[in-house]
Structure 1
């Protein structure tokens, strides 16, 4: 279900890119923007583990409760053992990164060990391992590339309109260019966020299967949401917020459309209704 939804959303994002390229005068502009955005995002994809771990001052661990839980999950499900990092932040949270299961990193904050039981910690780390097994870092990088290309084309349209470049281009569509400037980046961001939310649901379901009990993760999510509301994580880089199991950013109402995470109540409801 989540795979089919992700494919549909990625297709929609591609169609927005095709429309944006057509509005600027053909496939050449869209291809150039796609290549440029791809080059920028591939660097992020390839080195994401090192960059993010350094950003949050993570230290690799080879023993202790966090390492033992990850090792147990990997042994049970016959996964490659990722690198395990502990982050010094007191706000409980966790994330996974890395370009593939053989070069993966899972990380959790020190605060998560203070609020979760071992079973709940197992549910959280199973969720993160699900992101690794589903290759969600790659999917997110592709989505970011497409969205970035659309944003680049919108900027090109803006400069073209300002300096009158569109008047000399028979293939350009002035109305399409105006719509691209206004709606293109918004549409791309909405679809990109929807893809991220879909992958979170997928990781919840996968994590529930990997740990053997959906209620482990459901209980953990409830505690993590409460803790993050009571003591938000300081100095969060918005570009990395989508990686965490619970969003470290606040927002509701209309802002939820641009959220990288699904509503917590819906995530918990789905988990509590699962059987494995």
Structure 2
């Protein structure tokens, strides 16, 4: 039964990835059509295909480079490396790359197009703030993302939402032209330039929020005690919401990849409305309930 459910989840994630690619590509093509008519539409079609292929093959290295994460070996970080290795074995996953980000804010993320090309990264801050059990809960959550193949979907959503936003800004500043006989309806063009980035952002956020609960649940099973992750989330949330600083290397486009939104402490009302993560209190409550069902403390 467990293998059947695992296969269903994998198939659903594959379908979700394809739907995301198509939907984001359509938005990009609409922008291209407004900017350059048929020529612009064709250019954006090929550009979206090229970017999806690039996202698939290079997402892991790209995100690690953006975040300033440095890969470490067993000799350089023996305790962290051994913990990841143990959790990967429990999850039935190949050993991922282990990376560290030199930053005070406690946070972590996973990246990679599939379990064979995965990496987990933690900040120096999270290793200072959380204890061993809490870090194991956080890393189990990230490995659950790897196991469920969530990372590719998130990376494609992030990259395409960013490109759509830049394309819309370009059109607003420089205008557009069309090679069609009827030209471009200026009202429709303005509406598209405003609504397209919002639509892309909402798609990205909906996908991100839906995958977090599943990763929390599976992470609780991988580490053996959902309370480990719940305790870790409480500490991270407290630190992030009471700090006016953010991760220096964090970008809005990749915020959905972290275990807690690194921008949670800035513009709280707005970040809750357009959050890439579900409410942390709700996540913690679900984990506590899962721990009770598993009869662990």
| TMscore range, shorter length | 0.7 to 0.9
Judged with a 3 Å threshold, the aligned counterparts in structure 2 of structure 1 residues 77 and 237 are, in CA distance, closer, same or farther, namely closer
> 1:253 matched to which residue of 2?
269
> 2:190 matched to which residue of 1?
178
5 Å-filtered alignment, 1:63-102, equals 64-102=78-116
Q: Name which of structure 1's ranges 102-111 and 9-18 shifts more when overlaid on structure 2.
A: 9-18
Q: Name which of structure 1's ranges 172-181 and 130-139 shifts more when overlaid on structure 2.
A: 172-181
Q: Which residue of 191, 195, 199 corresponds with 2:207? A: 195
Q: Distance in 2 between matches of 1:92 and 1:151?
A: 29
Q: Name which of structure 1's ranges 238-247 and 44-53 shifts more when overlaid on structure 2.
A: 44-53
1:115-159 deviation line (CA, Å, top 9, x unaligned):
323221111011110111122221023324553564466467658
> 1:219 matched to which residue of 2?
231
Judged with a 3 Å threshold, the aligned counterparts in structure 2 of structure 1 residues 86 and 59 are, in CA distance, closer, same or farther, namely same
Deviation at 1:98, TM superposition (A): 1.9
1:23-78 deviation line (CA, Å, top 9, x unaligned):
67988754532431443464455334334445425241315322222111122222
5 Å-filtered alignment, 1:227-266, equals 227-231=239-243, 232-238=245-251, 239-249=253-263, 250=265, 251-266=267-282
Q: Distance in 2 between matches of 1:30 and 1:202?
A: 37
- Contact 2:37–2:180 (CA under 8 A) maintained in structure 1: no
Q: Distance in 2 between matches of 1:132 and 1:204?
A: 12
- Contact 1:23–1:174 (CA under 8 A) maintained in structure 2: no
- Contact 2:250–2:262 (CA under 8 A) maintained in structure 1: no
> 2:60 matched to which residue of 1?
49
Q: Name which of structure 1's ranges 131-140 and 236-245 shifts more when overlaid on structure 2.
A: 236-245
Q: Distance in 1 between matches of 2:101 and 2:179?
A: 55
Judged with a 3 Å threshold, the aligned counterparts in structure 2 of structure 1 residues 93 and 101 are, in CA distance, closer, same or farther, namely same
Higher relative contact order (CA 8 A, sep 6+): 1
Judged with a 3 Å threshold, the aligned counterparts in structure 2 of structure 1 residues 47 and 146 are, in CA distance, closer, same or farther, namely closer
- Contact 1:87–1:110 (CA under 8 A) maintained in structure 2: yes
Q: Mind listing any 5+ residue stretches in structure 1 that lack a counterpart?
A: none
Judged with a 3 Å threshold, the aligned counterparts in structure 2 of structure 1 residues 260 and 30 are, in CA distance, closer, same or farther, namely farther
- C-alpha root-mean-square deviation of aligned residues, in Å? 3.5
| Equivalent position SS for 2:233 | helix
- Contact 1:45–1:137 (CA under 8 A) maintained in structure 2: no
Q: Name which of structure 1's ranges 87-96 and 34-43 shifts more when overlaid on structure 2.
A: 34-43
Q: Mind listing any 5+ residue stretches in structure 2 that lack a counterpart?
A: 1-7
Judged with a 3 Å threshold, the aligned counterparts in structure 2 of structure 1 residues 153 and 68 are, in CA distance, closer, same or farther, namely closer
Judged with a 3 Å threshold, the aligned counterparts in structure 2 of structure 1 residues 151 and 144 are, in CA distance, closer, same or farther, namely same
Q: Distance in 2 between matches of 1:120 and 1:39?
A: 40
Q: Distance in 2 between matches of 1:158 and 1:234?
A: 30
